Amino acid sequence: MPTLASADSLDYQGGKEYGALKKRQEEMLDEINQEFLTDEDYQEVEELADRLESSKKTFMEMDENNNGELGMMEVKRMMEKLGQAKTHLELKKMIAEVDTTGRGVITYRDFLGMMLGSKSSVLKLILMFEEKKKEKERPKGIPPKRDLSSLP
């Protein structure tokens, strides 16, 4: 998988170059999402398009150096943000469960395969738990009037 930028050329201050880099990254991830949308192996996944979009946002958040891969330190920081700090060996094992390239990183294809596939991994379980733990949007406005006959 080609990387999006080298560490030397990355503009950490933001600006036009950073915006262009994020746009290229999003376009590349959208292409991979399109592959998964047309892949027969994933046609039975419920709400596939929504799950792909959600996975893309999560991956882009976690990919701190914007190279299209999640390395050891990125997974470590993500786990710490989720309150699930892991040791170096635990992180290596988590990445190895998902890594299909054997390079010790999680590519976006690996990430999608983990999130959409039937096989469970520690990382998938933690991410799914955190997603469910997020507070749902509460209804706003005045509650509807009820009478005794509407009570269970």
For residues 38 and 43, what is the distance between their CA atoms, to the nearest angstrom?
8
pLDDT > 60? residue 47: yes
- What does the pLDDT look like over 51-91, one tens digit per residue? 899 889 989 988 888 888 999 999 999 888 888 888 999 89
Question: How far separated are the first and last CA of the chain, in Å rounded?
Answer: 57
CATH T-level assignment (fold) for domain 15-127:
Recoverin; domain 1 (1.10.238)
Q: Which helix (H) or strand (E) holds 92?
A: helix 88-98
| Its pTM surpasses 0.85 | no
For residues 48 and 52, what is the distance between their CA atoms, to the nearest angstrom?
6
What integer pLDDT is reported at residue 107 of this predicted model? 92
Domain layout of the chain by residue ranges: 15-127
What integer pLDDT is reported at residue 11 of this predicted model? 42
Return the percent helix, strand and coil in the chain, to nearest 5. Answer: 55, 5, 40
